[in-house]
Amino acid sequence: MFDENELEAAGKFFAIVGPSVSEADVDTIFPGAFPGREDLVQFYIWHNGGSRTPQGCVIHCGKPEHKVARDHLDKMIVEGFMSVSLDPADRMLPFRPIIGHLTTMRGIYAQVPEMEGFLRQNIPFAFDHSGENICVNLSNGSVCYMDYTEYRKRAIEIAPSFRDFVLEYWVNAEHLLEA
């Protein structure tokens, strides 16, 4: 479980944070029990989405040369977290809502059986500098990186839990930001 110092440390990397949400709001988007779920809920109650830059919530770099190779994800820069909003149409600008993004991705991949299953089992909640998704698995709580342009290669697990992901890729990523 996150301690208050870890949550405060995570907060110092946000240039912008989404509006407050309740535990019930977070529960609606991340239903059921899975390992590390309490950390995810606690994190979203403290920090409902947001990014390192005010523009990062809806705009990502997009430069192909900044995309991190699948075999070098330790160099990935997490730009931000999507927000919890129960209305898919509610953009809460400049925030990208989880439910709206998930609905869009499910629509795009509705005819791709392996992706349909992936999106039923994994919820995107964050994105890297190039706009690719980071998802939490609703069964085992692991966190994976998904490049939808290479979905046939499948997602890659990058952290065993939400807490480990936040500490490694958000809080302890200062060395990547300085490069």
Which of 39, 51, 55 has the alpha carbon at shortest distance from 160? 39
Question: Domain coordinates of the chain in residue numbers?
Answer: 4-174
Which of 100, 103, 99, 169 has the alpha carbon at shortest distance from 134? 169
Across all residues in the chain, what is the average pLDDT? Answer: 86
Measured CA to CA, the distance from residue 83 to residue 108 in angstroms comes to 21
Which residues of the chain are modeled with pLDDT < 70?
Answer: 55-63, 86-95, 174-179
| pLDDT tens-digit readout, 48-96 | 988 887 766 555 666 677 788 888 888 888 989 999 986 655 555 566 7
What is the model's pTM? 0.89
Measured CA to CA, the distance from residue 15 to residue 100 in angstroms comes to 22
Instruction: Say if domain 4-174 classifies as CATH 3.40.50.970.
Output: no
